[in-house]
Structure 1
Amino acid sequence: MFFRHIWTITGISYFISSGEVNPLNVKVTTDPVPVVGRFDVILATCTASTSQSPAGVSWNLGTLSDSVKIKNSAQNQDEMYTVSSSLIGVPTVIMNQLNVKCVIKHHSLKEELVIDHEMVVHYSPQLVYITPLLSGDGFQCEADANPKALLFSWKRMNQTIHNDAIKIEGNRLYFLKLTSDLNGLYICEASNEYGTGTGSLYWQKGGFHLEL
């Protein structure tokens, strides 16, 4: 059997014509974007519309087969047949960027239409990690988050960060001098619209220890 493949990430429509008067309109949508921490939501919806006869809509879910439910619906309005199939489940971090396939079958198609869809899930910073800069004079804070963290703040545990000894530029922390009075625990907070995550660095003259 032959297959036609199309790739989509967030949502797009396709008008598939095989030379007949009425083309097949297919779309995969993710609206609104699923967010980790919420209960059963629609993760993605595949819809096929045509004025001829209903299309068959199904999914190839791979590793998600046991994690989601499928809800199908069909309607005929003004001689337009619309068939939708939605994936419903609890959003998780590992679902983000996983690939699922929507499979369309219709008599007007010479082959099955397979739409590869990359799932999108939003979540707050989960893992915040601090790494030394290649220059050797500071550290950089990064986070696993979607959308990515854009707001970073630094603080020193139980002490004030003095500008004459330490410089902060966004997600970067620079030590302007290497003296023992700067020994201590430094914490980076990374935030996006869904929340904040923290990572820490224990710095002491002559070395440092990174913590998650």
Structure 2
Amino acid sequence: MSRHYAGDCHDFSKNTGLVILATFLFIHGGLGQRVKVEPEVLSYPGQSVNLRCAFNDPSGIQLTQVTWIYEPILGERVNIAVYHPNFGAHFPDTLLKGRVAFTTNPPSLPNPSIVISDLKMSDEGKYICEFATYPSGNELGTTSLVMLAKPQNTATTVTAVAGTKLAVVARCQSANGRPEAQISWVTTANGNSSTVSKTGTDNMVTVSSEYSLVPTAADNGKDISCVVTQRTLAKPESFPMKLVVEYPPQVTIGGYDNNWYIGRTNVDLICQANGNPNPTHVTWRTLTGEMPDTVVIKENKLTVLKVDEVVNTTFICEVTNRLGVSKEQVTALVREPPTNPSNTGVVVGVVIGSLLVLLLVAALIAVLITRSRKQQQGYRGNGASDIKSRIFGGKKASKNGTGGGVVSGGSGGNNNGPIYVYNESSAHQGLGEKNNHHQPLTMGGRPEVSATTPTAQDILLSNELDEAERMKFDELEEEDERYDHFAGGAPILQLRPPQEPEDMIGGYLDDDMESQRDGSVISRTAVYV
């Protein structure tokens, strides 16, 4: 509560003081309102200015005299013009004499305005219009004359050398201005500014500012602007510039790709340098002092026409400007020539192609084996009777009335040669065992042969087949699943072409039959392979 009360008291005291001050100013203003003047007048050197003054409502008051008083910025007051209705106008000896006069002639006591011509900067100050009255005494009004001068603004950079000491890099000046100008800097450089002002004899002011930093090569070319602000300028005046910092050359070598192999041609090294001032001379040399014969140099470019073992060295580039010499080096490592990528591609292609072919063949073999096994299982399920029911030459036998699987050698048949049977049980027997399958028959004195279907090779090798037999073979070939059982290791029956009829004896060739040790007789025309 106490703190709040104390605060209220302080606010009350403050408000009371403001009210008293406002009342005093109002009373003072009310009393001074009878002398009317302009509070401020602006003008430029060489021009004329009119200082107005008038006594408002002089009723009840007797005006006896008016006096203009000049109060300079630095110095004492002086009277510059006096008017008395009985004695007239008077101009005391001052710096304004001859340049100051009343606006009317004769002057008017209630309106004693004056004019000052050919203004100078030193004329700036306060001008007081003072009336001598009765019975009120003296009453006055004050006008401030502000002399303006548009300054001459300039800015420039200062060339500095990169180093470790603080140096001035830019200057800016606003000369002969009134009032005093304000100078500021805008830049990304890391520095500081210093500003000084100087007033001349005519009250004109010259402002100078410098921007300083420790210059480096990175500061060269950076933007910097001097900005001048002054009352006579409609807007601030800016002077953009670029810093100028000199430094020795900075050198880099480009072009080396770390892939110089023996036999490579036309490889380049580029010596890249920048400096301020610009580099004037570029020199190439090697660490050993001897330049290889395959090297060609043109200004900052070094070209190796053909890489060999001699190029396996260190190349040095030296660059010179007015501030000094800088150098950079690169060591070339010569490698063995790379393998021919085209041959490698061919080898890889061949290997991949071979693998693909092997995989394809293996897959095909696996499919065939699986299929063969399925077919063999199918034949075993059908039994031997189905195989023996297919007889080669069975069509002809049926025409002669035999119609069965056993063919008689009598006069009723038209079998010009022997008919052989291939038993399923003999698929893995030798040639001698196969001959045992030709068993003689008791009927008609001719051997009885079991009929069966020949293999595909038997049919292709036979010349006794007519067109009908071949068509039958085509139909049988479409049902290859039934005959693949005979393709694995079984003997192939080949038939010789028939001879002329006169060579036949009893249905057989005269020299075709041959006796065996077991008493049987077989035909020579039947050949087992």
- TM-score, normalised to structure 1, is 0.74
Alpha-carbon distance between aligned partners in 2 of 1:143 and 1:42, rounded to the nearest angstrom? 27
Q: How far does residue 132 in structure 1 lie from its aligned partner after superposition?
A: 2.4
Please say if residues 319 and 326 of structure 2, whose CA atoms lie closer than 8 Å, have aligned partners that are also in contact. yes
* Partner amino acid, structure 2, of 1:34: A
**C-alpha contact 1:180 1:204 (8 A) present in aligned 2:** no
Larger helix share, 1 or 2: 2
Letter in 2 for 1:56: Q
Instruction: Give distance in 2, aligned partners of 1:124 and 1:99.
Output: 21
Instruction: Map Cα deviations across residues 83-127 of structure 1 (whole Å, 9 max, x no partner).
Output: 11101221112222222221111111111112222212111123x
Q: Which has the larger radius of gyration?
A: 2
Q: CA deviation at 1:159?
A: 3.3
Partner of 2:320: 191
Pick aligned residue for 2:302 from 162, 173, 176: 173
**Counterpart mapping for 1:46-195 below 5 A:** 46-61=172-187, 63-64=188-189, 67-77=190-200, 79=202, 80-126=204-250, 128-132=251-255, 136-162=266-292, 164-195=293-324
Q: Which has the higher contact order (CA 8 A, sep 6+)?
A: 1
Tell me the amino acid that sits aligned with residue 27 of structure 1: T
1:155–1:161: 8 Å Cα contact kept in structure 2? Answer: yes
- In 1, are the aligned partners of 2:266 and 2:303 still within 8 Å (CA)? no
Distance in 1 (alpha carbons) for counterparts of 2:244 and 2:197: 25
Any idea what SS the aligned residue of 1:176 has? strand
Deviates more, 1:174-183 or 1:85-94: 174-183
The CA deviation string for residues 135-193 of structure 1, in whole angstroms up to 9 with x for no partner, is: 9542210123222322111110123114x422222211122332211211101011211
Q: Percent identity?
A: 25
Matching residue within 26, 35, 40 for 2:161: 35
Q: Deviation at 1:204?
A: 3.8
Aligned residues: 181
For residues 273 and 160 of structure 2, what CA distance do their matches in structure 1 show? Answer: 20
Paired amino acid for 1:146: N
- Output the CA distance in 2 between the equivalents of 1:193 and 1:181: 35
The answer to whether the 8 Å contact 2:312/2:333 transfers is yes
Contact 2:182 2:230 (C-alpha < 8 Å) held by counterparts: yes
Bigger shift: residues 72-81 or 165-174: 72-81
- Structure 2 gap segments, 5+ residues each: 1-43, 46-148, 257-264, 337-529
- Helix, strand or coil for the counterpart of 1:111? coil
The structure where strand makes up a greater share of residues is 1
Q: RMSD across aligned C-alpha pairs, in angstroms? A: 2.6
Worse-matched range after superposition: 40-49 or 72-81: 72-81
SS at match of 2:218: helix
Alpha-carbon distance in structure 2 between the residues aligned to 1:105 and 1:94: 30
Contact 2:281 2:320 in 1 (8 A): yes
Q: For residues 41-69 of structure 1, give each alpha carbon's deviation from its aligned partner in whole angstroms, at most 9, with x where no partner exists.
A: 111111112354332111123x43xx323
Instruction: Check conservation: 2:266, 2:305, Cα contact below 8 A.
Output: no
Amino acid at match of 1:44: A
Gaps in structure 1 of 5+ consecutive residues: 1-19, 208-212
Which SS does the other structure have where 1:191 is aligned? strand
Q: Which residue is equivalent to 2:151?
A: 24
Q: Cα 1:136–1:106, aligned 2, differ >3 Å: closer, same or farther?
A: farther
Amino acid at match of 1:176: L
What is the TM-score of this pair, normalised by structure 2? 0.32
Q: Do the aligned partners of 2:156 and 2:241 also contact (CA within 8 Å) in 1?
A: no
Deviates most, 75-84 or 85-94:
75-84
CA distance in 1, matches of 2:174, 2:167: 21
**Does the Cα contact within 8 Å between 1:142 and 1:190 map onto a contact in 2?**
no
8 A Cα contact 2:171 2:210, kept in partner = yes
